Amino acid sequence: MKIFIAGASGAIGRHLVPQLVARGHAVVGSTRSAAKVDALRALGAEPVVVDALDPDSVAGAVARAEPEVVVHQLTALSGPADFRHVARMAAATDRLRTEGTDHLLAAARAIGARRVVAQSNAMWMERTGGPAADESVRIEPHPPADAARSVAALRHLEDAVTGIAWGAGIALRYGGFYGPGTGISAEPDAVMAGYVRGRRFPIVGGGGGVWSLVHIVDAASATVAAIERGTPGIYHVADDEPAPVRVFLPELARALGAKPPRRVPAWLARLVAGEGAVSLMTRARGISSGKIKKELGWTPRYPTWRTGFAEGLR
């Protein structure tokens, strides 16, 4: 198929493009940076520079590509993390999940694309219920005030993509990424790994927030499955072991050769990072990926983060 990937130079795009090319697909990959054009070409994509917040730029690029499938992997999460200003840090990605989504959908509809696959995430599943949510669970309807804009942006993306009537709209709720090219890897410039090594990523309160994780290579292979044979709706993409922060974070520190994480009380973290960050560390729910395994035959290379941390960070 001819596939247009918006945000192809991002963490998942760098693994998704070569997997699609290896399976015989023709890929046009967009980036907002001309400096990344050569890297995209080396991965096997036809590169194009696009401003995702400019509807004319998006429409022109998609029209020239004439893809059968449009893939939305747009974020603005690279660079240093600023936990003292979480909402400000997320603002650019929020716009890509609202305005950027709308521009891509309009462009895809105009050229008759038959499928759209978009990146959502599973960090804001509704905070009531068991530790692992399936696809019937909604995004948290009453998030903390400092996370409300970002949660609303996720909701907008999912509703807009899965609501299209002219093609198959698929939203992928990924677990937290780790592995090469992400913030959690053995690479020296991996941002979150640097925080773990510096003991600046603490366990907050009791560390009871349950996170689902997924190796970036597995996230890409799940995306390939959705592109090739997914049906309209939502799929969860994560490994088989949702775990509380207090369980996986010390193991991550050990895998990175770091000292154990510090512990800080929730009230202090709330003062420094806000209520949204505290909710993620203390109240988050994991996800179950049974649907994508059953319907699309997806099997992760790293079925648990324990193996992934030991073998897959490099």
User: Using one digit for the tens of pLDDT, what is the confidence trace for 20-34?
Assistant: 999 999 999 999 999
pLDDT greater than 70 at residue 175: yes
Instruction: Please answer whether residues 30 and 48 qualify as being in contact, where contact means their C-beta atoms are separated by less than 8 angstroms.
Output: yes
Average pLDDT score over residue span 150-178: 98
- Residues 42-96: tens digit of each pLDDT: 999 999 999 999 999 999 999 999 999 999 999 986 655 555 555 666 899 999 9
Quote the CA–CA distance of 153 and 57 in Å, as a whole number.
Answer: 22
CA angle 215, 216, 220 (to 5 degrees): 120
pLDDT at position 90? 84
pLDDT at position 98? 98
Angle between helices 275-282 and 86-95 (to 10 degrees): 80
| Domain boundaries, given as residue ranges, for the chain | 2-311
Does domain 2-311 sit in CATH 3.40.50.720? yes
Write down the mean pLDDT value for the chain: 95
pLDDT at position 79? 52
pLDDT at position 314? 83
- Residues 181-226: tens digit of each pLDDT: 999 999 999 999 999 999 999 999 999 999 999 999 999 999 999 9
Report the percent of the chain where pLDDT is more than 90. Answer: 93
pLDDT greater than 80 at residue 154: yes
Sheet architecture: strand order including 46-49: 46-49, 26-31, 2-6, 69-72, 115-121, 168-174, 233-237
- Under DSSP, the state recorded for 125 is B
Tokens representing 287 are 């996800």
pLDDT at position 233? 98
Instruction: Please answer whether residues 49 and 31 qualify as being in contact, where contact means their C-beta atoms are separated by less than 8 angstroms.
Output: yes
pLDDT at position 131? 86
- Residues 250-280: tens digit of each pLDDT: 999 999 999 999 999 999 999 999 999 999 9
pLDDT at position 192? 95
Instruction: Locate all alpha helices (DSSP H) within 72-147, ordered by sequence.
Output: 86-95, 101-111
The SS3 of residue 31 is: strand
